[in-house]
Amino acid sequence: MKVMISLLLPVLLAQGDLVPSSTLSPPQSETEAGPSTPKTLVPQNQPPQEEEEEEARLVAGGFELSRATSNLGFDLLRKMTARHEGNLMFSPLGLSFAMGTLMLGTSGPTHAQILSGLGLQTLSRTQPLPELFGHLRKTLTHTRELGLSQGSWAFIHKDFDVTETFRNLSKRYFDTECVPVNFRNASQARGLMNHYISKETQGKIPKLFDKINPDTKLILMDYILFRGKWQTPFNPAFTEVDTFHLDKYRAVKVPLMFASGTFASSFDVNLRCHVLKLPYRGNATMLVVLMQRLGDYLALEDYLTTDLVEAWLQNMKTRKMEVFFPKFKLDQKYEMHHLLKQMGIQRIFSPWADLSELSPTPRNLKVSEVLQRTVVEVDEQGTEAAAGTLTEITAYSMPPIIKVDRPFHFLIYEETTRLLLFLGRVVDPTRL
């Protein structure tokens, strides 16, 4: 059984010399950056009618949160392309959950800037975001057949004071477990955290931390473990080594899996790409996007949006097909803080970060980095992972046989909420 894992680690450091110099611009006022979102709690023990209305509100808000998370993923993919030419894979959901946990500790302009960068400022005016995150997490993890689990840890330095509000809210909405750590003993702290990671990812990531800054006060870590089984498995007896074309001049040999069955597909006439649904059990799907012409796959990324994906899905036709799809494994690690800064989330990484909701003594606290590591392995049984305007779409142009033998994109999403769990690009299946 293969595993898809996403790990995010916002690292908060307490440093002695974080006072801004006089040459730097003064911090923005709360009025300029916008008010922070009130962390409203919903009253418990409501009457049945109010509970139904509350559930309907959370479901509607969940769709908006899902849409914002997916568009965040597409925006990040475009920014990643400027830095990475080869294989890419990350979890928009994992990043959204990690930043959602982090937002519980922020206030003022710092909080408002994160909302804006994540595209959640409008939703936050009408809905309490922590509740939406919590409801979405429960929806995903309570579907046993989906095979998705999510968890969060807060590794806290033994003498670092964290507010009870942050502890309670992070536990309630993100199921965050607080673990005391002595970061001054870096070797012991590293061993403890690697033990937690290895255990929760079932050994798929046995070691994540190579070194720890002894000035660290808190490490927040979110993980997502996805074990999806195909509705129509590929028969291992039919897997054969074949040619995968990297470009017009280069090719590699890869094992291509084969399945014959009923699949949904469409063809985007404007973008000249085939779109194929490979469904998992439990309301999850891998959407494979294959450009008609070799070498055009990078151009697709400029157009990816939730509206485009929805148009593809609404115009699909189910038919009998034969599918050839490569086995592959990816192990990707990214410094997300660089990308978040490009999206306008800068204050949290600066000396002016306001983390007053996290600690009663927030002076000299800032976030040093946000890392994400995602591992995916796709085989015959499934995927298990430890993290322009369209004018014409037709469902009839895809050939009865589709052979994914050139670079392609894949999206793994949950059907009910349309939440984008993982997003990736495979340029060379023989490389991690």
- 98-140 pLDDT, tens digit per residue, is 899 989 999 999 999 999 999 999 999 988 999 999 998 888 8
Asked whether the beta carbons of 222 and 152 are under 8 A apart, the reply is yes
User: Which of 249, 431, 228 lies closest to 329 in space, CA to CA?
Assistant: 431
* 230 secondary structure, DSSP code: B
Q: Would you say domain 4-228+330-377 falls under CATH 3.30.497.10?
A: yes
Cα dihedral across residues 341, 349, 116, 21: positive or negative:
negative
pTM comes to: 0.82
Asked whether the beta carbons of 222 and 98 are under 8 A apart, the reply is yes
Asked whether the beta carbons of 258 and 323 are under 8 A apart, the reply is yes
6 pLDDT band (50/70/90 cuts)? low
- Write the CA distances from 77 to 73, 282, 386, integer angstroms: 6, 26, 20
Q: What is the pLDDT of residue 208?
A: 72
Asked whether the beta carbons of 2 and 378 are under 8 A apart, the reply is yes
User: Does pLDDT of 25 surpass 60?
Assistant: no
373 pLDDT band (50/70/90 cuts)? confident
Please tell me the distance from the alpha carbon of residue 317 to that of residue 301, in angstroms, as a whole number. 24
User: Quick one: what percent of the chain has pLDDT higher than 90?
Assistant: 37
Q: Which long-range contacts (CB under 8 A, 24 or more apart) does 211-216 make?
A: 211/186, 212/183, 212/186, 213/11, 213/13, 213/183, 213/186, 213/368, 214/183, 214/184, 214/186, 215/13, 215/14, 215/15, 215/183, 216/11, 216/12, 216/13, 216/14, 216/157, 216/183, 216/189
Which amino acid, residue 401? I
Residues 6+ apart with CB under 8 A from 338: none
Asked whether the beta carbons of 81 and 427 are under 8 A apart, the reply is no
User: Does pLDDT of 72 surpass 90?
Assistant: yes
Average of pLDDT values for 388-401? 45
- Write the CA distances from 115 to 72, 146, 304, integer angstroms: 12, 29, 22
- Write the CA distances from 46 to 41, 42, 127, 239, 397, integer angstroms: 13, 9, 18, 55, 52
* 347 secondary structure, DSSP code: G
Q: What is the pLDDT of residues 246-267, one digit of tens each?
A: 988 999 999 999 998 899 999 9
| Mean pLDDT, the chain, whole residue set | 81
User: Does pLDDT of 31 surpass 60?
Assistant: no
Please tell me the distance from the alpha carbon of residue 267 to that of residue 417, in angstroms, as a whole number. 24
**278: its two tokens:** 């490979």
**174: its two tokens:** 């993100």
- Residue 86 backbone dihedrals phi, psi, to 5 degrees: -95, -140
User: Which of 301, 189, 200, 297 lies closest to 245 in space, CA to CA?
Assistant: 297
**176: its two tokens:** 């965050």
Architecture of domain 236-327+388-426: Roll (2.30)
Which amino acid, residue 137? R
Please tell me the distance from the alpha carbon of residue 320 to that of residue 343, in angstroms, as a whole number. 43
User: Does pLDDT of 148 surpass 80?
Assistant: no
Q: What is the pLDDT of residue 405?
A: 92
Asked whether the beta carbons of 390 and 396 are under 8 A apart, the reply is no
Helices (H), 306-411: 306-314, 336-342
Q: What is the pLDDT of residue 408?
A: 94
Asked whether the beta carbons of 218 and 355 are under 8 A apart, the reply is no
Higher pLDDT, 289 or 24: 289
Question: Pairing relation of β-strands 251-268 and 284-291?
Answer: unpaired
Domain residue extents for the chain: 4-228+330-377, 236-327+388-426
Q: Say which residue the tokens 């809905």 belong to.
A: 127
Please tell me the distance from the alpha carbon of residue 362 to that of residue 383, in angstroms, as a whole number. 42
